[in-house]
Structure formats: C-alpha cells, structure tokens
Structure 1
Amino acid sequence: MNFNFINLQSYSNPQYFIYLMIALIPMMIGLYHGHRFKTYEAIFSLVFLFLIFDGVKWHQGVNLIIYLIIEFAITFCYLHYRKVGKNKTWVFCLAVILAIIPLALVKIQTAFPQTQVHGLLGFLGISYITFKTVQVIMEVRDGAIKKVDPGTYLRFLLFFPTISSGPIDRYRRFKKDFDNAPTRDQYITDMRYAVRYLFQGFLYKFILGWFFGTYWLPKISKAALAVGNANGGLKLSWWLLAYMYCYSMYLFFDFAGYSLFAVSISYFMGIHTPMNFNMPFISKNIKEFWNRWHKTLSFWFRDYIYMRFTFFAMKNKLIKNRIRLSQVSYLLLFGIMGFWHGLTWYYIVYGLFHAIAIIINDYWLRFKKKHRKQVPSNIFTKCLAIFITFNVVCLSFLIFSGFLSQLWFGWK
C-alpha cells in the first residue's frame, strides 16, 4: 500500500481519519478494559506528529524539538526556583518573557518578511504550546502547581489532537485524566460523545465549511472585487454584506469542525479536552459571545491577562475607578489578542473593535440595571439582542478577514 504521508496533515481529508482510527484501536481496547497503554500512546502520538512535520516541513519538526528543550529548561528552572522558597516578581516576569519570546519573533517575522531567516523558529502549533507553557509557569507562581512530571508535561505540550489549533487544555485537568484510566461505563460514554463529535465535525468542516468557504466565498469575493473596481456604490455594499455573512459562516464551521475533531479524538484517547464552541451565534451580547466562541482561548486570555492585570492595577492603585480599570483591561486584553493573530492592521483593529464593543455593552448593562423598570425584557428584545450581537460579530469577522484591504488595493 502506498501511504501518501505528504497529504496526511491533521484533519485535512477523510483518508487521514482512516489511518487515525486504525491506530486508535489498541488504545481504545485498553481503555475499554480499564488500562491506559502509555507507551503505545506515546509512540502513536510521535507517529502522527511526524505526519504533521514530514516532507517539506521537516525543519518545523526540528524547530519544535529545539523549542521544547528551551521551554522545558525555563519551566523546570522556575519550578526549582519556587521550590527553594523564592518568589521574586522579576524572576517570574523573566520566565514568562523568555517563554513568549520565540512566539513574538515568529509573529514579527510573519509580519515583516524581510526579517525572516528561512526555517528559523516557526512551526505549526507554536502559539498553543506557548500558551500551555505560560499557564504552567503562572500556576507554579500561584502555588496551584507544586510538582510537574516531565513525562506528563511533555505529553501535555505535544498532545497531538490539539497541537496545531487547540483547544487549549489546562495541565492539572489533563494530568488528572492522563493518570487515571476511565471505568468501562465511563469510557463507553466517552466513545458515544467521540463518535457524535466526529460526525458533527465532518458536517461542519467538510460539508458546511466547504460550501461556505470553497464554493460560495470565492464567487462572492470575485463579484465584490469586480463591482468595487467598477465603483459600484450601493451594489458593492450588497456584495460586501454577502461576503461578511458568508465568511463568518465559513470561519465558524471550519474552525468549529476542526475543534470537534480534536475533542473527538481526545475522547477516544480517554482525555476530556474541553469544548471550544457553544452556539456562539445565539449570544445576546458581545460578552456572552466570548463565553461561547473559542472558549479555551478566551478563558486563557481572561485568566492570565485580564484578571492578572486587573489585580495588579488594583493592588498598586494604578487606576482607582473600577469602571475605567475594566475598560483599560479590555483594551489591553483584546489589543494583545489582535497582535497575537498577527501584526497587521486588520487583526489589531479586530481586537480593538471587540474591546470597544464590550465597553459599550457594559455601559448598556449598567443602564439596564439602573432603569430596570423602563427597559422591557421579552422575547422580542431578546431576539433583537441576538440579531444585533450577530451582526456586530460578523462585522468584526469582515475586518478580521482582510478583505477590506483587498477592496482598497483593488480601487487603488
């Protein structure tokens, strides 16, 4: 049999799932009988990681190994530092900065191609491994994590179902699953969810995602650019609106489909990777949206950036007014999120757009609370809130897509 490894990238085509499910069988049999075959699981993960970094991407695999050595050194040096009873803030900040530097350099190289050195630093999944590392360092600082097992930590960082695009798990939650095989009844329940998420992922990514992203989006994009070049005015507005909704649907179904695959394979492996999406387009306000959209990322940013900056600012009395403090924290949070997506104007504007939207939403919520009797609350107002939130989100995705830049340069 001729295995075309070059095309077997993560969740990229149905053929990938055939080999994946065959390789999962021994692990599934073991878990069904209450045993976790950790050695086989390690070999299994290494093989599928090899499929991700094979061929022309071999240098990314080398970068991954180098990066893991660096992150291990930072994590365990800081862990040793904390074990001897020391807790200097500057040492903690240094550890976090050193962990983030490679990711920051990759983002700079991506934004400014003239600074790139071929094959240096970057590899698929660097963001999510960095987030996991920083999370562990911060929880070691807090005392929530007192011991890190090197083998479990390595598997946590390299957990292949989620390595390229999440969801982002937490070390303590992952370790609890990894150290204990489920009972037979628990694993049967896990497999039911795994099968359900697998087929739902196929529906989202390969059917709906394909329809919106591969079939419709290029046609709408071509028409919008053509009308834009012809200075179509109102006609362009309709095409732009169509692009906005189509791209939003594609972004959701493609990403949610990928996340469902990652969760499904995790459940087959007896690991309860958290869900990433929870019907985000029925959100009644923008804050609720971020509790439903890419949840593991938004919760990571909330816990390790927003909350920590807020507590730091309150402790040091940087901003005394709590409302102003929350607004500054939102701008910082979503500004960093925008920069994380890329050092391009539309990513940064996308982040600031959401910060401003949440600030406006907070004003509205305070107004509603103060004028509870005057502001109606019924099925109509709830539907209106969902409609407004949906369109605000879709507008942000239009900015995020970069299509406005294409139109601008088309006009130029």
Structure 2
Amino acid sequence: MQPYSSPFYFVYLGLALIPIVIAHSFGKKLMWYQVLFTIAFLWFTFAGSVTLWALLFFGVFETILIKIYEYYRITLKKNIFFVFVLILLLSILPLFLVKLNPVIDPAHPQSIFGFLGISYVTFKTVNIILEIRDGLIKEVPLKEYFYFLYFFPTISSGPIDRFRRFRKEMEAPVAKNYSEMVGKGIFYIFQGFLYKFIIGYLLDTYVLHILAISATVHPTFLNMMGSMYSYGLYLFFDFAGYSLFVIGVSSIMGYDIPHNFNKPFLSKNIKDFWNRWHMSLSFWFRDFVAMRFMKTIMVKKWTKNMVLIANLGYLASMGLMGFWHGFTWYYILYGFYHAFLLIGYDAWVRMKKKRKWKIPNNRWTTAVSIFITFNLVFIGFLIFSGIPNYAIMHALNHDFPLPNF
C-alpha cells in the first residue's frame, strides 16, 4: 500500500504513533520504537515486491560510497576533484538508470533499480557527499545516517531534508513545545485530507479527466485552457495535501521538517514562485546546482559577465530539474521554460533599473503581477502535463492511448 493513499491508512498510522506521543509526553524520544515504526511501515509499503530489494540495495550501495568518501576526504584529508566527481556520479547512477529505463524499454518502464521515493533519498545522499567535500560534515554515524535516509514519513515524496539539520533535531531533547507540535501535526493532516481527498479528488474526477480527454481528442483553445488550469490546481492540491500529511506525521513524531508550499499562487513574480513552490526541491537545486555551478564559473574565470553567469545558473538548475522529472521532451521543455522565465524576469528588473522606471507599488500593480505570474506558471503546468503531446500523438494515431490522470 502506498503511503497516505487512503483514509484507512491513517488508522494504522494513528495507532502506531500512540507510543511515540506518550513517550514524548514524558520527555522520552523512544528511538528504538521510532526505528521499529519506520521498519514496520517500510515493510508494509514495499513488502512482496522487487522494490523492497531495490530499496535495500540502494541503501547499501549509497552507504558504501559515502563511507569511502568520508574516509578519503576526512581521514586521509584528500580532495582530488576526479574522486569527488566519480563518487557523485556513482551515487546518482541508480536514479539515472531508473529515469532512463522508460526511454530504453517503454513496454516495461519500471526499472528493477526503482522504488517509490528513489529521487528524494538520492537527493539526501548527494547532499551528504557535497557537504563532506565542503567540510561541513565531519562524520557520518551510521545510526543517524540510516534513520535520516529511511525516515519513513518523507521517503516517498519528500520534503527533502538536510542531514545536518535532521541530525541536530534527532540528537536534541524532546522539544518543550511538543504539545503544540502535536496540535499542528493533527491540523496539517486534516488540512491534507481537505486538499488531497476532497478538493484534489473532485478536480481529478469531475474536471481534469473530462477536459484532458476532450483536449486530446478534439483540442480547442477553451478545453486546452480548461485542462491547463484544472491540471495545475489538481497538481497543487494533490501534492500539497501529500506534503501536509508528511509534515503532520513528522511533527507528531517530534520533527519539524521543512515545508514544501507557501501560498505559491500569490507569487508576484517567477522568482517569488520558486521560493514558494516545492520549496525543498527548488532550494536544493538552487544551493547544490545553480550556486555551485556559478561559483565554479567564477573560480575558473570562464567569464566575468555576472548576467551571463546567473543565466547559465538558471539554465543548469532548471534544465536539470526538467531532466529529473523524466527524459521526455515535455518535462525537459518545462525545465528550460522556467529557466527562460527567470532569465526574462532578471532582464526586466535590470531594464527598470537602467531606465529608472518608477512603477507604483500598490494593490493594483500587485494584483497584475500575481495575475501575470499565475498564468505564466500555469502555461508551464500545461507543458508539464503532456496533454499537448497526447493531443498531437492522438491526431497522428487514433489508437494512441488517452491520458490518465
């Protein structure tokens, strides 16, 4: 059973959380039970399928890589760039094979290396390798590492946490505001029910599915726009609801993990949007792709043009994000679409400054900014949905399968 996939799942989850709540109420973390809880729910999720072995193989493989690099970088105090790149590429290899498999073998898109959440645990391991190289992580104790890697609430869909933050919270005593955390956790879970099982379900069943099929079989401007808005809203409520479940359960367990969404459709510009939408992912790509790539360009002195450096950073991070979603043209186009939106927004800011345009900042200009950003973002969702691709393929071949959202 997939995590948080049905209301009945929460009955088992609620019963399993009771000992953790009681222990925290007496100032005890009961770590042995938390580990047992994680193992039990991982088994509940993955048992009886090849993905359980993929999950175990991934954990062993990544642990060997991290411990080798830890010994090399911290104990031997060496820092040869080739070794770092080799370890990094090997750590990404399982995810790369999983994403590549549907392209190589469309008839069997599920790779034997794949399991639910492989992307998010890969981001965790890459984070550790990068921070070992930077000297920010001095050691990787196996007990804390395994619990961080396999932390059950976040394993399937994030949010993407950072090892140093999680370890600090794991080793700290029970939070003094734990009762408040439980209250927030319960609130987040019920809010998640509203988002995912009510609003998301209604959008998917009575709006999106009908419009998506209509846009595929007989595409018109109106049903394409309807598909665009309904898909974007469904994507938000479904994923935000899922994230709220994760945050709520983690909060009840005593962990204040990062949030993923912060009213993204009230964003005033595209940069503001990426500071509000899937924040743990966008911040991860910002910190570990864009900023590092830009720093490398400056250190290597490939160019001194700061505008070009920033633009290359956008192309690298958002382009890679597109490839991460899948090696399909509309995912890749989605990534570069947002890169060019960011580049365009920076150009607009520079033009305003250069020409000394004084645009008033009031509720009307704010509303216009939100409206423009909202529609640009939803055009991106239409690209991401693949609906135009299904429409084209259906026009070329009437036997082509219809989209299934």
The TM-score range, normalised by the shorter chain, is over 0.9
Matched, 1:46 2:30: no
Aligned pairs for 1:200-219 within 5 A: 200-219=191-210
Match of 1:62 in 2: 53
- For 1:346 and 1:302, how far apart are their aligned partners in 2? 22
Q: State the number of aligned residues.
A: 395
In structure 2, relative to structure 1, the CA distance for the partners of 1:94 and 1:335 (3 Å cut) is same
1:227 is matched with which residue: 218, 229, 237?
218
Query: Partner residue of 2:119?
Result: 127
Equivalent residue for 1:144, pick from 131, 136, 161: 136
Q: What letter corresponds to residue 44 of structure 1 in structure 2?
A: F
Measured at CA, do residues 385 and 30 of structure 1 come closer, stay the same or move farther in structure 2, by a change above 3 Å? same
Quote how far apart the aligned CAs of 1:406 are. Answer: 1.1
Q: Does residue 193 of structure 1 match 2:184?
A: yes
- What stretches of structure 2 of length at least 5 have no aligned partner? 397-405
1:380 to 1:411, Cα distance in 2 relative to 1, 3 A: same
State the percentage of identical aligned residues. 46
1:87 is aligned to 2:71? no
Alignment correspondent of 1:233: none
* Partner Cα distance (2:69, 2:209) in 1: 49
Cα offset for 1:212?
A: 1.0
Uncovered stretches (5+) of structure 1, i.e. residues with no partner: 1-7, 229-235
Aligned to 1:72: 63
Conserved? CA contact 1:59–1:119, under 8 Å = no
Q: Distance in 2 between matches of 1:165 and 1:261?
A: 11
> Is the 8 Å Cα contact of residues 207 and 230 (structure 2) preserved in structure 1?
yes
Paired AA for residue 208 in structure 1: I
Counterpart mapping for 1:10-409 below 5 A: 10-55=3-48, 58-83=49-74, 84-113=76-105, 120-183=112-175, 185-228=176-219, 236-409=220-393
Structure 2 distance, partners of 1:339, 1:156, is: 26
Q: Determine the C-alpha separation between the residues in 2 that align with 1:130 and 1:171.
A: 12
Cα deviation, residue 364, structure 1: 0.8
Measured in 2, the distance between the counterparts of 1:130 and 1:373 equals: 45
Q: Deviations over 1:187-232 (max 9, x none)?
A: 011111101111110110001111112221111123323433xxxx
Kindly tell me: are residues 237 and 373 of structure 1, through their superposed partners in 2, closer, same or farther at Cα, counting changes over 3 Å? Answer: closer
TM-score by length of 1: 0.93
Displacement of 1:307 after TM fit?
0.5
Q: Is the 8 A contact 2:215 2:224 kept in 1?
A: yes
Give the secondary-structure state (helix, strand or coil) at the position aligned to 2:277: coil
Provide the TM-score with structure 2 as the length reference: 0.95
Rounded to whole Å, the distance in 2 between the matches of 1:61 and 1:119 is 13
Residue aligned with 1:21, SS: helix
Would the aligned equivalents of 1:109 and 1:115 in 2 still touch at CA under 8 Å? no
